[in-house]
Amino acid sequence: MAPYEALYGRKCHSPICWAKVGDRPLLGPELVQETTENVKLIQQRLQIAQSCQKSYADIRRRDREYEVGDHVFIKVTPMKGQTQFGVKGKLAQRNIGPYKILEKINSVTYRVGLPPMMENMHNVFHVSMLRDYLRDPLHVIELAQVLLKDDYTYEERPIQIINRRIKRLRNKEIPLVKVDWQNHGGT
C-alpha cells in the first residue's frame, strides 16, 4: 500500500497538489489535529495489515519442544555446489540422524549427542534445525563404522559388481558397470 493511500484511503490522482480544488490550506491547530487523526488512521491500518500477515504465518508455525532422551533428526540443507555427506546436489540428504537429545539448554536450544565421527561438529542446535523422530522399536538403525585417516579421508573398495550393460550411442558404445562399494549402505 502506498503511503498516500494509507493516509487518505484512496489512490493519489495528482502528485502536484494533494488538496481538493477549492480547499483552503489548513493553518495552526487545525493542521495539528488533522495530522494527529491521520497518524492514528495509519497506525490502525498498519495494525490490521500486521494481524492479517500474522494469521497467514501462524498457519504453518508450530511450537516444538523436546525433552531429554527424545530422538531427533538434524536438518543439514547443503549449500549449492557443496558436497554434503558424500553426495552433491539435489540428492544430498536433508536430515541426518536420529540422534538423542542430551540436554535442554533453554526453550529453543538443545545439546544433541553426535557420533564420534562427527566430533568436530558443534553439538548445540536451535529448535528450527531439529525434526521430529517417532521411535519405533522395530526400527533399528546401525551406524556403519568408517575408518578415517588423520586428514578425514577414507579408502573406498569395491565389494562386487552388481550389474553390467552397454549404452549405445549413434557411433559408439559405452560400457556401464554398477558396483557395490564397501562404505556405502545398500544398493
Residues 137 and 74 in one domain: yes
Q: Which three cell numbers stand for residue 67?
A: 525433552
pLDDT digit string, tens, across residues 51-95: 999 998 888 777 889 999 999 999 876 656 555 566 666 776 788
Residues 69 and 137 in one domain: yes
CA pair distance 130, 107, nearest whole angstrom: 13
pLDDT digit string, tens, across residues 17-37: 445 555 666 567 777 788 788
Name the nearest CA neighbour of 183 among 160, 161, 156. 156
Which CATH number does the domain housing residue 88 bear? 2.30.30
Q: How confident is the model at residue 161 (pLDDT cuts 50, 70, 90)?
A: very high
Q: CA distances (Å), 121 to each of 112, 116, 117, 124, 125, in order?
A: 11, 10, 9, 9, 11
Higher pLDDT, 143 or 110: 110
Q: Which range marks the domain in which residue 101 is found?
A: 63-141
Per-residue pLDDT at 186 exceeds 60: no
Residues 152 and 165 in one domain: yes
Higher pLDDT, 80 or 42: 42
Q: Are 124 and 114 in contact (CB under 8 A)?
A: no
pLDDT at 51: 93
Number of domains in the chain: 3
Q: How confident is the model at residue 50 (pLDDT cuts 50, 70, 90)?
A: very high
Pick from 104, 126, 141: which residue ends a domain? Answer: 141
Residues 54 and 94 in one domain: no
Residues 72 and 33 in one domain: no
Residues 24 and 50 in one domain: yes
pLDDT at 27: 65
Pick from 33, 58, 83: which residue ends a domain? Answer: 58
Residues 136 and 84 in one domain: yes
Higher pLDDT, 104 or 75: 104
Residues 133 and 93 in one domain: yes
CA pair distance 125, 75, nearest whole angstrom: 10
Residues 53 and 88 in one domain: no
CA pair distance 170, 146, nearest whole angstrom: 42
**Segment 6-22 mean pLDDT:** 61
Residues 174 and 163 in one domain: yes
Q: Which amino acid is at 47?
A: Q
93 CB contacts (<8 Å, ≥6 apart)?
A: 76, 84, 85, 87
Residues 35 and 90 in one domain: no
pLDDT digit string, tens, across residues 120-133: 889 999 998 999 98
Residues 151 and 135 in one domain: no
Query: Which pTM does this prediction carry?
Result: 0.48
Higher pLDDT, 183 or 41: 41
Q: How confident is the model at residue 110 (pLDDT cuts 50, 70, 90)?
A: very high
- CB pairs under 8 A, 24+ apart, for 81-86? 86/184
Q: How confident is the model at residue 177 (pLDDT cuts 50, 70, 90)?
A: very high
